[in-house]
Homo-oligomer: A and B are copies of this chain.
C-alpha cells in the first residue's frame, strides 16, 4: 500500500508561542510531531487538521478541528501528531499548566474533549465499517451541519481532494470517482467551484451516508 502525503509537506512550525490570539493563513503548521507539547490551542475561527505521517509516507488525518474546539493537548511532553491550518485561522494558545489552574478553562476543555470524542467515535465507525461512498456522504453531511443552519443547497469543502482522502482513509482517486458517481446519481450536484458541492436533497444524502 502506498498512500497519503500526496501534497507538499507544510512548512516549518510557525512560531505560535505567545499566549493569546494568533492568526495564521492557509496551510500553516501549528505544531509538528516531535515538537514540545507545552502549549495547546483553541480554534477561534477557521479550521485545522491533525494528522500523522507513517514512515513510508502514508498520511492519516485524524481530526478536523473547528472553532470552539482544541488541539495539541498531549499527555506526554511531545506531540505525536502534526497540525496545520486548512484555511486562515485564529488560534488562542494556552500553556498546558494553565489547565490545572483555571477552573473556567478546564470546564471549557472538558466540553471540547467530550465533543471531540463523540466526533471521533463517529469517524471511527466511518473508517471501520463504511464504504467509500458512505464515508464521503457522511463527511459532506457533517460539513453541512458544521456550516451552520443556512438552509444551504451548497456546502463549501474546506479541504482538497487529497485532504479528504487522507481524512477518510481513501485515495484521492477513489474520492474523485466516488463524488463523480454521486453527482451522476443526483445525490450531489456540482458546485460552482470544485471546493463546493451541491446538495439537491439532504434526505437522500442522509440515506446514502448510512446514518445508523
Contacts and interface: CB of A to CB of B under 8 A. Distances in A.
A176 interface: no
A75 B124 contact: no
Contact of A52 (B52, B103, B121): B121
Given A121-B50, A121-B80, A3 B129 contact: yes
B212 A125 contact: no
A136 to B, nearest CB: 14
Interface in A96-123: 99-100, 103, 106-107, 109-110, 113-118, 120-123
Nearest to A107: B106
A101 B137 CA distance: 40
A182 interface: no
Given A99-B110, A106-B106, A210 B121 contact: no
A168 interface: yes
Stoichiometry, copies per complex: 2
Nearest to A61: B128
Chain A interface residue count: which class? 35 or more
Contacts of A8: none
A53 interface: yes
Given A109-B110, A117-B113, A212 B54 contact: yes
A60 interface: yes
A210 B54 contact: yes
B54 A125 contact: yes
Nearest to A128: B169
Contact of A125 (B60, B114, B116): B60
A4 interface: yes
A74 interface: yes
Interface of A: 1, 3-4, 50, 52-56, 58-60, 62-63, 73-75, 80-81, 99-100, 103, 106-107, 109-110, 113-118, 120-125, 127-131, 166-169, 210, 212
Q: Which 6 A-B pairs have the closest CB atoms?
A: A128-B169, A127-B127, A113-B113, A60-B128, A62-B124, A60-B129
